[in-house]
Each structure stands twice: as C-alpha cells, then as structure tokens.
C-alpha cells in the first residue's frame, strides 16, 4: 500500500523496450517536484506516450527506477498506485447514461451538488446547462452528442472529483475553436492546481502554462525548460 502522497516523481536511468532489442527509452532521467505541470512535446514516435504509460505502470521498465515520493512504483500494488493517479486519454471516455453519471464516475459516492461544483470549477457547467435536460441529458458511448472539447470538459470534472495527486493527460489532437480552447485552458488550470501533472501537449496554451516543457526525441529528453527558455 501507498500512504497519501505529495506527488514528487522521479525517473532514474529508465530504459524500456516493448520488444526485445528495440530500446524505446534510453537512460531517461528527470525529477519533478509536487504540484508542477510538465508538458511533453516532440515528434511522433518519440516516446511521449511510452513515458506516461510507464508512470501509470501499464508496462514495467527494463532497468532503472520510477519513484513517487521516493518509493519505487514497482514495489507497490497496482491498485494503490492507480488510486493516486488520474489518467485522461485523447479520446475522453464517455459511457451511455446521463452527464451526471458520467462525471460521478470519478467518485461514485459524490452527491449531485458535488458533481455540479466540480463541473463549475472546470468550466463545464455552462455548456451542460445549455443542453435540453442539463445534467440529466442522456449521452451514448461514443459521446456523439458532444464535441471533442465538451467531452474533455466532462473528463476534467470527472478527474477533479477523483482528486488524484498525479494527473496524466493526453490532449486531444482534434482542432477546436479559439473560444473552446480558452474555456478548456481555464478549466484545466483549475484541475491542475495542487497536483503533479504530465500532459502530452498539443495546444500552445497548455505549453505556455506548463512549469516545464520536456522535448522528447529519439527515446530521451532532448531539451527541458519553460516556454520562454526554449
């Protein structure tokens, strides 16, 4: 088991391959202080998704260590590790049911009021209230009545209810309009507050707001710094 954590995260000489002999990450080292936002950028196939897959332990490292608050993540149960982590993939997961249920999925014991408060905090409330049945509006699995931006806002509200110390976000690549981008950025800023966050960033506003940008190339960190520094 893992006790409640601060959210410091370290990679120590991490090497990883999906297939024997094909090294994808080569001796990756970095350290992130609790509460910081890291944006991963870099060319396709560079290893960005691989890094976040290792943080959430979808795969185990070949050698080296990943530490959370100084504890090697391979030494704790998956269950206790995942309790500390919120993972939001590109295609925000929506299931058949109401918007209320979709958000409450982050914490099944949350009251209606708590769901609404979370939605307000991440700027999802306004669009939800514009739908015909508000929070009781039915959506289907493909989320077909929702835009990409709206699906992402629902996933932000859901993640906020779950309240993880470490957050992983693979930003949607689909183009969104400027107005939606502003709403998403504001919602995201509220969600990121007080958590260590790793974002595979596609939007400039996310990159500008990150505490550190890591440019991933050829299985390693080619450069790291703030938007101004790079």
The residues of the shown chain that bind ligand ATP, judged by CB under 6 A, are 18-19, 24, 42, 44-50
Q: Which stretch binds Mg ion (CB under 5 A): 11-19, 41-49, 134-142, 143-151?
A: 41-49
In the bound state with ligand ATP, the residue whose beta carbon lies nearer, of 83 and 202, is: 202
DSSP state at residue 136: G
The CB-of-20 to Mg ion minimum distance in angstroms stands at 22
Of residues 17, 49, 53, 121, which one binds Mg ion by CB under 5 A? 49
Instruction: Please say which residue, 25 or 123, places its beta carbon nearer to ligand ATP.
Output: 25
**Measured between alpha carbons, how far is residue 22 from residues 11, 14, 215, 217 in Å?**
20, 14, 21, 15
How many whole angstroms separate alpha carbon 166 and alpha carbon 92? 18
> Which residues lie below 8 Å from residue 177, measured CB to CB, with a gap of 6+?
149
DSSP secondary structure string for all residues of 191-229: HHTTSEEEEE--SHHHHHH-SEEEEEETTEEEEEE-TTT
In the complex with ligand ATP, which residue's Cβ is closer, 63 or 173? 173
If you ran DSSP here, which 8-state letter would residue 75 be given? Answer: G
Q: Residue 85's binding partner, choosing from Mg ion, ligand ATP, none, with beta-carbon cut-off 5 to 8 A by kind?
A: none
Q: Look at residue 50 and give the partner it binds from Mg ion, ligand ATP, none, a contact being a CB closer than 5 to 8 Å depending on partner kind.
A: ligand ATP
Does 90 bind Mg ion (CB under 5 A)? Our answer is no
Q: Which does 99 bind (CB under 5 to 8 A by kind): Mg ion, ligand ATP, none?
A: none
Judged by CB under 5 A, the chain residues 160 through 199 that form the site for Mg ion are none
CB contact at 8 A, 169 and 146:
no
Which of 45/194 has CB closer to ligand ATP?
45
Cβ burial of 53 (10 Å; 0-12, 13-18, 19+) is: middle
Q: What is the closest distance, in whole angstroms, from the C-beta atom of residue 89 to Mg ion in the complex?
A: 10
Q: Which of 40, 143, 30, 32 is nearest to 96 (CA)?
A: 143
Token pair 């950025």 is at which residue?
A: 185
**Least distance from Mg ion to the Cβ atom of residue 170, Å:** 7
Is the Cβ of residue 8 or residue 48 nearer to ligand ATP in the bound state? 48
Taking CB atoms, the residue at the shortest distance from Mg ion is 49
Binding site for Mg ion (CB under 5 A): 49
């Amino acid at each position: 088991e893992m006790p409640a954590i601060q959210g410091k995260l370290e990679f120590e000489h991490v090497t990883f391959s999906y297939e024997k002999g094909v090294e994808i990450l080569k001796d990756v080292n970095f350290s992130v202080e609790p509460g910081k936002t890291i944006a991963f950028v870099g060319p396709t196939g560079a290893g960005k998704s691989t890094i976040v897959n290792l943080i959430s332990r979808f795969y185990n490292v070949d050698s080296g260590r990943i530490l959370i608050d100084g504890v090697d993540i391979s030494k704790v149960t998956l269950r206790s590790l995942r309790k500390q982590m919120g993972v939001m993939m590109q295609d925000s997961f929506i299931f058949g049911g109401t918007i209320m249920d979709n958000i409450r999925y982050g914490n099944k014991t949350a009251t209606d009021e708590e769901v609404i408060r979370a939605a307000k905090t991440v700027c999802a409330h306004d669009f939800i209230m514009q739908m015909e049945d508000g929070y009781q509006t039915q959506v289907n699995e493909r989320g077909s009545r929702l835009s990409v931006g709206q699906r992402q806002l629902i996933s932000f509200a859901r993640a906020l209810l779950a309240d993880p110390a470490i957050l992983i976000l693979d930003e949607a690549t689909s183009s969104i309009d400027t107005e939606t981008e502003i709403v998403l950025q504001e919602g995201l800023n509220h969600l990121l507050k007080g958590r260590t966050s790793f974002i595979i960033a596609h939007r400039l506003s996310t990159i500008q707001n990150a505490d550190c940008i890591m440019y991933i190339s050829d299985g390693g960190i080619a450069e790291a710094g703030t938007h101004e520094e790079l």
